Amino acid sequence: MVEILWFKILLIPIVAIFGVCLGLFYKGIDRILVARMQSRMGPPITQPYRDFKKLMVKDNIIPVNSVKWLFNLMPIIALSTTLIILLYIPLGGVGPILGGHGDLILVLYLLIFPALASILGGFSSGSPYAIIGAQREMIVLMSYEFPLAVISISIAWLISSLNPGLNAFSFSVIGNNVIWGLVGPMGFVGLILLFLTLLFIVQGELGRAPFDVSEADTEIAGGVLAEYSGRNLALFYLANVTKMVVIGSLIIALFLPWNISNFLNLTGVLAYTSDLLFFLIKLFFVIFIGSTLIKAAAARFKIDQVVSVYWIYAVLISLFGLFLVSFDVIL
């Protein structure tokens, strides 16, 4: 038992470094793809690494008006909580490292923390632009939380009503009972609706176009990050790119938890490698459809439009999906 614990503790920094590097890599791919969609050349794929390196050597300015300890603490909290979520989500063929200690509900709560850290950072920096950005970020956060909760609860309800006695919020149970196989045709349509809504929430969660009201470059000069520079900005940058991986793997864990090694009858190291590669491909497609494509295609919503899109349309669609799924199961 103790040896397993030590092994897990050793794995934690490896997963953290892996997540950060993966996030920067996907950010590079994302920037190239957006550029190609706008018929530009785009930066080299190593550009996010260069940006990070540059931000680390730059001066770290702390404004006179700011609350200094909050201002310096919040980037660290944003990055560390994002990395903590990675430990609770299954990555590739292996289950979550801290799988026995936390489940979907914990992940949903932890997902609030990076946004909360940037809100507090914005409030503490003492710039009017940052304060407006923080208020907007808060509104976006409140908007997408409800459809996210509806989606996760409907998945858990589906599993628990068919297999009573199991912990339906645990990721290993969700991974073993693939939800697409549990429902009939009507429930299938409902699950597709839930899946599309979850893909639609990615952009709000990441704060990218069309939901980038909190960082609106042209209106409020960078929003919550307006006063950050140097190392603090680099940490926020890392937190944002890692969040992309986190949300992608959350979607994969909930809706696409297949492993390729079962189909190919592989064992040992080969199975883990093929599962990891398959996971990376799935992650690429989820990020491409959920984030890159929408970012390249859409312009920024106004703040009231963001609220109405999430609170009215996303909630209605996800509730309709839940209704279809429950109707299918009850019948």
Partner 1 sequence: MNDMFKKQEFSDKQKKVKKLKTQMKSLWVFNWFNSCGFIELIPLVGSRWDMERFGMILTSTPRHADVLFITGYQTIKSIKRAKRIYEQMPEPRIVIALGSCSMTGGMYWDSYNTIKKLDNYIPVDLYIPGCPPRPEAIFEGVQKMMEYIKNNKKMVSKS
Binding to partner 1 (CB under 8 A) within 139-168 occurs at: none
Q: Is 222 in the site for partner 1 (CB under 8 A)?
A: yes
Q: Is 273 in the site for partner 1 (CB under 8 A)?
A: no
Shortest spacing between CB 248 and partner 1, in angstroms: 23
Shortest spacing between CB 81 and partner 1, in angstroms: 23
Residue 124 identity:
S
Q: Is 296 in the site for partner 1 (CB under 8 A)?
A: no
Check if the beta carbon of residue 151 is closer than 8 Å to that of residue 197: yes
Closest to 224 in 3D by CA, of 76, 118, 117, 302 = 118
Q: List the one residue from 179, 191, 225, 250 that touches partner 1 (CB under 8 A).
A: 225
Q: List the one residue from 227, 251, 255, 282 that touches partner 1 (CB under 8 A).
A: 227
B/e letters for 133-159, b = 16+ CB within 10 Å, e = fewer, are: bbbbbbebbebbbebbebbbbbbbebb
CA atoms within 13 A on the CB side of 210: 16
Nearer CB in complex with partner 1: 217/304: 217
Shortest spacing between CB 217 and partner 1, in angstroms: 4
Q: Is 229 in the site for partner 1 (CB under 8 A)?
A: yes
Q: Is 101 in the site for partner 1 (CB under 8 A)?
A: no
Q: Is 126 in the site for partner 1 (CB under 8 A)?
A: no
What Å distances lie between residue 263 and 58, 79, 84, 120, 177, CA to CA?
50, 36, 31, 47, 16
Shortest spacing between CB 136 and partner 1, in angstroms: 15
Q: List the one residue from 9, 14, 17, 61 that touches partner 1 (CB under 8 A).
A: 61
The sign of the CA dihedral 68, 236, 294, 218 is positive
Q: Is 38 in the site for partner 1 (CB under 8 A)?
A: yes
What Å distances lie between residue 182 and 27, 191, 260, 325, 329, CA to CA?
35, 11, 20, 10, 9
Q: Is 41 in the site for partner 1 (CB under 8 A)?
A: yes
- Rounded CA gap, 313 and 176, in Å? 31
Q: Is 217 in the site for partner 1 (CB under 8 A)?
A: yes
Q: List the one residue from 13, 58, 270, 316 that touches partner 1 (CB under 8 A).
A: 58
* Count of residues touching partner 1 (by CB under 8 A): 31
Closest to 157 in 3D by CA, of 191, 205, 199, 109 = 191
Q: Is 68 in the site for partner 1 (CB under 8 A)?
A: no
Nearer CB in complex with partner 1: 205/227: 227
Check if the beta carbon of residue 75 is closer than 8 Å to that of residue 232: yes
Q: Is 42 in the site for partner 1 (CB under 8 A)?
A: yes
Residue located via tokens 């997963």: 15
Q: Which positions touch partner 1 (CB under 8 A)?
A: 31, 35, 38-44, 47, 50-51, 53-54, 57-61, 129, 217-218, 221-222, 225-230, 233
